[in-house]
Amino acid sequence: MKNIFDIKTPDIDKENFQTLFEKEGVEIKSIVSNTLSTPRDFISDKDEWVVLLQGCAKIEMGDTTYKLKKGDTLFIPANTKHTLLKTKKLAYWLCIYL
């Protein structure tokens, strides 16, 4: 048993990732982003579905900027560049890689 909120709080402008579950091509991660102001680029070779459990965040994907708040979800297709532009205070994410 794991608690998705049992993850070390990173320093300001940093992130911590923790794998919660992995089986047969599915991986579930808990991510904590602490007041990010430095944009971060990501590209995964797997589809991603993310839900923001707490906080606010801005993600740019292609020509679209998504402003996420608590409870918002976003699907990111495999091999799609996306940029986490910033978060406000602590942002807790649940990310499922398919």
Q: Alpha-carbon distance 85 to 30, whole Å?
A: 19
Whether 8 is in a domain gets the answer no
For residue 49, list its beta bridge partners. 75, 96
Task: Give the pTM.
Answer: 0.90
pLDDT in tens, 17-37: 999 999 999 999 999 999 999
The count of domains in the chain is: 1
| Residue that the structure tokens 């205070």 belong to | 89
Whether 34 is in a domain gets the answer yes
CATH number, domain of 61, equals 2.60.120.10
Query: Closest Cα to residue 3, out of 30, 22, 23?
Result: 30
Q: Alpha-carbon distance 52 to 94, whole Å?
A: 7
pLDDT in tens, 37-90: 999 999 999 999 999 999 999 999 999 999 999 999 999 999 999 999 999 989
Q: Alpha-carbon distance 46 to 91, whole Å?
A: 22
